[in-house]
């Protein structure tokens, strides 16, 4: 019967900058933030401290952090972080659900293999250990006779250890659909006979998984050699974090297959509806849309998903229905055909799956069946006769930061965008012709510590390469590193030196006496003054001064002549 557990979801029909689309359930008191390429650790730490947040987990490959937020200030903190220029997006840590639909075991055993012509495909190939399949789910029964010999080490993101026992039963059924041991006189057959299974546990015993655990599992699968990833889990909320993880897989040549969900609605479910995921809907034995299967223009392809006989947790077998099983059947087929020609790219494998599918419903691509229902034999025939188009088109690349002729200092981020008709394999960053760094996934960026460089002009060159060996012309910008001059402030507290040139000390004055004086100061004399018995007689803005003094009417006696000089710092001597 159909599962009665549903996800409440709301969809907003407009885009809000720096925030995720509103959606379904999420982990209370947690947010996911992606820091910008230029954001420094100090700025991020300050934002966390200012808002009372703690960093719980880091996903460095996609620059995302899972943070704890004070629940009483949740909305306020989310809004504040969304406005912070150090973050690209801020969103809830949404929860996804396993797409389980147990059904009555009254159908023919493994009818789906006949429908997609698996036996004919197996005449041409049975898979290869070189193309592992990662199953992101509830774990896999490690002792099941139809799986035990195919399991390779995985990881449990719930317990943060290597125990990948199945906590729900769903993952074992999914794994068997993709690649149960075959031709062993035991149980059932999987689509991909020889391909290893990498179990990654994210789905708990209540059938729920967080988007961060799913994203972490995708990254783990990519970094540990999986070429095909299956995710029979879905949530109603779009997530930038999940989308970035899917893009990370795609940019590293890995195909991610995801179930379209079982709500008979056109509402997108994620990660299936992410732009670089393969969304798999379900068909029944008559090649009709499965009654429960989701649909829409985001569907990529379909596969059998009703009463699929597969492996059960605990060593047995059972019938299962849902897009949870159409997805691993398709993922297993991708691994099967890729094994026949491992030199092909992930884009080429996906195109072969689409082109070889049996067209159902409206002619061509449609919103019910996507490109059609998979056909294993047709796909194998196409790959055996595949003549790859020679890719002679070079990628393009543009440096986005820093700007041309920009003056730079300290540690800077160099960023670029690159595009190719097939795929960008890597982007190289060079400084004056010397390789600084290589980045193999978008967003392409490198870090340069300019404090180690001397002052002058530098040329930053960015070049993109594709998997066919084509390279773009180098895009270059010139930047300036200025000489850092240490300015030491010298405090001038020395007064000018004053010399009275005439009259001499103790001399007798005539009727007319000329008073002359000069002053010297290393920073210059600003002003000089002459006083007689404390009375100012004349002022001059120079380093010398002359005053003609008429003494005829003065009574006899002794008079004091004093000369002052002031420098530019205000010192008086």
**Residues designated as active site:** 137, 170, 324
Dist. CA 200–CA 134, nearest whole Å: 7
Count the alpha carbons within 13 Å of 279 in the hemisphere toward its beta carbon. Answer: 28
Dist. CA 194–CA 179, nearest whole Å: 8
Strands (DSSP E) contained in 312-439 are 317-321, 396-401, 406-408, 411-419, 424-431, 434-439
Cβ–Cβ under 8 Å, residues 210 and 29: no
Dist. CA 336–CA 296, nearest whole Å: 27
The continuous run of DSSP H or E covering 222 comes out as helix 211-223
Residue carrying structure tokens 């719980």: 56
Dist. CA 34–CA 75, nearest whole Å: 17
The continuous run of DSSP H or E covering 311 comes out as strand 308-311
Strands 396-401 and 411-419, how do they pair?
antiparallel
Cβ–Cβ under 8 Å, residues 230 and 134: yes
Burial group, residue 383, by CB count within 10 angstroms (0-12, 13-18, 19+): buried
Burial group, residue 442, by CB count within 10 angstroms (0-12, 13-18, 19+): middle
Cβ–Cβ under 8 Å, residues 463 and 428: yes
Which DSSP string do the residues of 3-26 spell out, in sequence order?
A: ----------SS--TTBPPP-S-E
The continuous run of DSSP H or E covering 384 comes out as helix 376-384
Dist. CA 322–CA 304, nearest whole Å: 9
Cβ–Cβ under 8 Å, residues 21 and 11: yes
- In 3D space, the residue among 428, 434, 395 whose CA is nearest the CA of residue 414 turns out to be 428
């Amino acid at each position: 019967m159909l599962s009665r557990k549903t996800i409440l979801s709301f969809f907003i029909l407009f885009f809000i900058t720096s925030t995720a689309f509103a959606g379904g359930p999420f982990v209370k008191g947690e947010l996911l933030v992606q820091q910008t390429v230029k954001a420094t650790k100090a700025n991020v730490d300050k934002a966390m401290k200012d808002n009372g947040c703690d960093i719980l987990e880091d996903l460095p490959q996609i620059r995302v952090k899972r943070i704890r937020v004070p629940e009483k200030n949740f909305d306020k903190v989310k809004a504040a972080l969304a406005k912070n220029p150090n973050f690209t997006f801020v969103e809830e840590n949404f929860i996804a659900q396993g797409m389980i639909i147990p059904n009555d075991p009254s159908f023919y055993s493994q009818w789906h293999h006949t429908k997609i012509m698996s036996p004919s495909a197996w005449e041409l190939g049975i898979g290869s250990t070189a193309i592992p399949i990662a199953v992101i789910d509830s774990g896999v029964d490690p002792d099941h006779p139809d799986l035990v010999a195919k399991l390779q080490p995985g990881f449990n993101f719930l317990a943060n250890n290597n125990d990948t026992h199945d906590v729900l039963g769903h993952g074992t059924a999914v794994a068997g659909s993709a690649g149960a041991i075959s031709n062993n006189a035991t149980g059932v057959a999987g689509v991909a006979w020889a391909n290893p299974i990498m179990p990654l546990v994210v789905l708990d015993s209540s059938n729920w998984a967080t988007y961060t655990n799913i994203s972490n599992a995708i990254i783990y699968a990519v970094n540990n050699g999986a070429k095909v990833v299956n995710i029979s889990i879905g949530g109603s909320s779009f997530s930038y974090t999940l989308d970035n993880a899917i893009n990370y897989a795609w940019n590293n040549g890995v195909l991610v297959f995801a179930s379209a969900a079982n709500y008979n609605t056109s509402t997108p479910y994620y990660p299936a509806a992410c732009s670089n995921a393969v969304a798999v809907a379900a068909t029944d034995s008559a090649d009709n849309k499965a009654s429960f299967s989701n649909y829409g223009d985001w569907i990529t392809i379909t596969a059998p998903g009703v009463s699929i006989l597969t492996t059960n947790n605990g060593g047995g077998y059972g019938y299962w229905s849902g897009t949870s099983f159409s997805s691993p059947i398709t993922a297993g087929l991708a691994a099967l055909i890729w094994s026949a020609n491992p030199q092909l790219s992930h884009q080429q494998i996906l195109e072969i799956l689409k082109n070889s599918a049996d067209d159902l419903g409206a002619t061509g691509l449609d919103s019910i069946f996507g490109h059609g229902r998979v056909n294993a034999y047709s796909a194998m025939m196409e790959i055996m006769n595949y003549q790859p188009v020679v890719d002679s088109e070079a990628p393009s690349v543009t440096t986005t930061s820093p700007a041309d002729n920009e003056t730079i200092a300290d540690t800077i981020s160099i960023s670029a965008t690159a595009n190719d008709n097939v795929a960008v394999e890597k982007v190289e960053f060079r400084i004056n012709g010397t390789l600084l760094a290589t980045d193999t996934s978008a967003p392409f960026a490198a870090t340069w510590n300019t404090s180690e460089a001397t002052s002058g002009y530098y040329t930053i060159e960015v070049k993109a390469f594709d998997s066919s060996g084509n390279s773009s012309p180098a895009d270059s910008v010139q930047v300036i590193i200025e000489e850092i001059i240490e300015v030491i402030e010298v405090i001038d507290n020395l007064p000018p030196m004053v010399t009275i040139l005439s009259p001499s000390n103790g001399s007798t004055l005539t009727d007319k006496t000329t008073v002359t004086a000069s002053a010297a100061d290393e920073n210059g004399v600003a002003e000089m003054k002459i006083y007689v018995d404390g009375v100012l007689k004349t002022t001059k803005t120079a380093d010398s001064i002359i005053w003609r003094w008429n003494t005829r009417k003065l009574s006899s006696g002794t008079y004091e002549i004093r000369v002052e000089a002031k420098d530019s710092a205000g010192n008086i001597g």
